[in-house]
Structure 1
């Protein structure tokens, strides 16, 4: 296998395995506890950890021999983590207070709702009914905008710096 094929192979395999693991954990966790203040703190800490992960990924992109592939990998991992954190929160919220959403949320329903909010499609088949659910959905909407704008910019800038670094390293002058 050539070096470039090996990079592509790993750039596809790592985020695929990471996504599979994150989804496996999400579906394996019962998520039957109550959504409490502690849950809100855990949600905030999870989003903070995502921010740290993005920063670490940006540094890894700059140092990578294949910054474009590494940026795609970082984006795939970050999006999955972001979506799973909110889906878990919605599941906990619905299990804590049935009727919080227009229909009971299973793991699949919560993930589906999270993706429809993230993609701004909002089919309307599942809607938040309670004030806390609407607040959390609004937080996700703002988070989506920040994620798409800021995280996208950070990863794109890191990729650009990585490509420039490669150019400087390749230029013997």
Structure 2
């Protein structure tokens, strides 16, 4: 397959993957959201398991991106998918504990807050007021700084190596 066609397929896969990731976030049932019974232990276990799976997926994607035959578009695909997965994971986490936030009522609010946290913007319109929410935000900040930044640095460093463009 010619490089330009492979690159175009990578862009299409990227767009498709992002649409699917965000689409699933909006339609997937979240049975623990707004439940009557407070289940902090269960919510924490689900979030911890999710972080483990997310870290595994990121590691897998980075390894995939570092293969020398990968084109620039394919490596960029990995970066965009990584960011999308992280944003959606934390948005789902925030939605599950929405009662611990001031101003967070919908899935879109949670997605918006996750993106602003990733970008370290913090407009102040959505604020964590509960201890669990504050822990979740701190976990995202640390996760973004350590895991996501490391993954992005490795992939971008791999792009600078001589190879296909």
Alignment partner, residue 44 of structure 1: 48
Which 10-residue stretch deviates more, 58-67 or 12-21?
A: 58-67
Residues 135-159 of structure 1: CA deviation (Å, up to 9, x unaligned): 1111111111113421112222443
Unaligned runs of 5+ in 2: none
Alignment partner, residue 102 of structure 1: 102
TM-score by length of structure 2 reads 0.84
Q: Answer yes or no: is the 8 Å Cα contact 2:7–2:71 preserved in 1.
A: no
Q: Answer yes or no: is the 8 Å Cα contact 1:59–1:158 preserved in 2.
A: no
TM-score by length of structure 1 reads 0.81
Q: Bigger radius of gyration, 1 or 2?
A: 1
How many correspondences in the alignment? 160
CA RMSD of aligned residues (A): 2.3
Q: Distance in 2 between matches of 1:61 and 1:148?
A: 14
User: Are residues 1:12 and 2:11 paired?
Assistant: yes
Q: Which has the higher helix share?
A: 1
Alignment partner, residue 135 of structure 2: 135
Unaligned runs of 5+ in 1: 167-173
Moved >3 Å (runs of 4+)? 157-161
Alignment partner, residue 145 of structure 2: 145
